[in-house]
Amino acid sequence: MKNIRIEIPSLSENIRMIESFIDNAKEKFQLNDDIYGNIMIAVTEAVNNAIKHGNRSDSAKMYCWH
């Protein structure tokens, strides 16, 4: 399995990039809608919390997901 690393500036609007990545994974791995929905909610909530609470929405800080 290939490792993937995504780095985005810590701004809430950049969560769209993570959502797009998950959308692409749904197609590539043919995820059913229930699994896709659960992954989307869990990951976007985790990223949003990290940006807001961990990095205090400081765009100079990068959020790294891998």
Alpha-carbon dihedral 34, 20, 47, 61, rounded to 10 degrees: 170
Q: Is 37 inside any structural domain? A: yes
User: What does the pLDDT look like over 10-42, one tens digit per residue?
Assistant: 998 999 999 999 999 999 999 999 999 999 999
Position 30 scores a pLDDT of: 97
Domain span at residue 41 reads 6-65
Count how many domains the chain has. 1
Angle at 34 between CA 41 and CA 25, to 5 degrees: 70
Q: Is 1 inside any structural domain? A: no
Q: Is 36 inside any structural domain? A: yes
CA–CA distance, 32 with 13 (Å, rounded to integer):
26
In this prediction, residues 36-55 reach a mean pLDDT of 94
User: What φ, ψ does residue 30 adopt, rounded to 5°?
Assistant: 50, 55
Q: Is 35 inside any structural domain? A: yes
Q: Is 25 inside any structural domain? A: yes
Task: Give the residue with greater pLDDT, 63 vs 9.
Answer: 9
Residue type, 40: M
- For 15, other C-beta atoms within 10 Å of its C-beta total 17
